[in-house]
Amino acid sequence: MSDPGPGAPGQEAAALDREAALERFRTLLRVPTMSRNVVEDTDWAAFDHFIESLPRLYPALHSTLERERHGHSLLYRWPGRESGTPTVLMAHYDVVPATAEGWTHPPFAAELTGAGEDQTLWARGAIDDKGALVAILEAVEELVRTGFQPAHDVYLSFGHDEETVGSGGRTIAAALDERGIRPALVLDEGGAVVERIFPGVHVPIAVVGVSEKGITSVRLTVEQHGGHASTPPRMTATVRLARAITRLNARPFPARLSETDLRMVETLGAHAAGPLRAVFTRARRLQPLLRAVLGRLSDETRAMVRTTTAVTQLSGSLAANALPETAEAVVNTRIAVGSSVAETLTHLRRAIRDDAVRVEAVDASEPSPVSPADGPQWDRLASAIGAVHPRAVVTPYVMLGASDSRHFTGICDAVYRFTPFELSADERAALHARDERIRTATWFRGIAVYTALLRAS
């Protein structure tokens, strides 16, 4: 069924292994480990089933690595030949909920279509993040089977609730911290190998997250005496809240370029065609121009250069004919690297300029520290990517979303966020949406990146 691709020695054996690997991947994709915002709604039997399936599918790995459970999250330790700072590979096996509605192929059927480079596997979690998790398992299983042992310990940290509260990642990071473990490198999901995201650059780009924005939900509250809606005061709580939101929307956070942004523009600029190269390689001197351009180019670049706010929840009165005693809005803020929760609250209060609107942070999380985009750990990751994607330019970037790896920044200086798959814009758009899918050739190259990294661990 599957096309082994361009000829190589031992092609038949490799093709057989590939088919078996793909079947294991499909088996795990079919387990509906859906994260639920209301924890009580979680189908824990699916999570147990997923965990129980692993030793049968990966016998060599499970006979060599130690495994411990932290609730439904898993921590594996692969003992190294000598003592030294370990490597941590992270992934999560919970997925965003999906029903069959609107999908071309049902989300938990793991159907295959096409052949060769076009062969595609359709499933929720095919990329985010069982794609990465199972690729790690495949890489380790094969290395163990062939007798490889890493120089230093390797840990695999597999979370079960990354898509909701991320408690698994936090618990495992705390457990490692308690044991005094200071990893040399932590790799979690994040950037990918992408094309056509940067004007003038026509080579593949491997974007590696060296930091991530902070996330804080801010609650805006206006309180007022209730009463009948037939005799409203001139300024009801809801109107005051609406005014606050409009004011806030009219005063976006100022655009600024972080050191990482500048480094990315310079790195990619060196590969840009034509006159753009001259602009991008002078990024530092042309900062005001770049800020202005990136601040307007697209929703993505606008979010890249500033703290963003999105009003996600609104509530008022419970009855159609009663004035609300409390009107409330939740503003989801993504805080730029270099800024802080405190600075964000100050900006919001100034923008709203109304003391009757209470502004308070709930679930405050600061932007992550920035991992170095050079040095031995960066080079090790870049070489592993380069071994599989020789044409790709490897660049640091600031991740706009959040990952479980933020819990590891307290115990490791080199925390990177990179999913080793080439993803088109369409494939990226299917994450957390309908028709999530991965090209199988892409997945196999992902396994190869993890293998290269593990060989150097």
Active site amino acids: 94, 162
H or E segment at 23? Answer: helix 11-29
Residue 268 backbone phi and psi in degrees, to 5? -75, -35
Nearer to Zn ion, 211 or 236 (CB): 211
**Residue 212 near Zn ion by CB under 5 A:** no
Nearer to Zn ion, 138 or 163 (CB): 163
**Residue 427 near Zn ion by CB under 5 A:** no
Quick one: DSSP state of residue 270? T
Residue 181 backbone phi and psi in degrees, to 5? -85, 125
Nearer to Zn ion, 128 or 161 (CB): 128
Q: Residues 215, 221, 223, CA angle at the centre, nearest 5°?
A: 170
Per CB under 5 A, the segment of 124-132, 220-228, 288-296, 369-377 that binds Zn ion is: 124-132
Quick one: DSSP state of residue 117? G
Quick one: DSSP state of residue 232? -
C-alpha 29: how far from chain center: 19
CB atoms within 10 A of CB 202: 11
Nearer to Zn ion, 129 or 161 (CB): 129
201 backbone φψ class: left, alpha, beta (φ>0; ψ -120 to 50): beta
Stretch 16-55: interaction string toward Zn ion, x if CB under 5 A: ----------------------------------------
- What is the distance between the alpha carbons of residues 84 and 154, in angstroms, rounded to a whole number? 10
Q: Least distance from C-beta 21 to Zn ion, angstroms? A: 21
Nearer to Zn ion, 72 or 380 (CB): 72
Residue type (1 letter), 105: H
Q: Least distance from C-beta 189 to Zn ion, angstroms? A: 5
Q: Least distance from C-beta 162 to Zn ion, angstroms? A: 5
Q: Least distance from C-beta 128 to Zn ion, angstroms? A: 4
**Residue 129 near Zn ion by CB under 5 A:** yes
Q: Least distance from C-beta 145 to Zn ion, angstroms? A: 28
Q: Measure the CA dihedral 281/285/287/293, to 10°.
A: -50
Full DSSP string of 394-418: EEEEEESS--GGGGGTTT-S-EEEE
Q: Least distance from C-beta 91 to Zn ion, angstroms? A: 8
**Residue 161 near Zn ion by CB under 5 A:** no
Nearer to Zn ion, 247 or 434 (CB): 434
**Per CB under 5 A, which of residues 169..198 are in contact with Zn ion?**
189
- 100 three-state secondary structure: coil
Per CB under 5 A, the segment of 49-57, 120-128, 232-240, 375-383 that binds Zn ion is: 120-128
Q: Residues 371, 377, 383, CA angle at the centre, nearest 5°?
A: 120
Judged by the rule CB under 5 A, the positions of this chain that interact with Zn ion are 128-129, 189
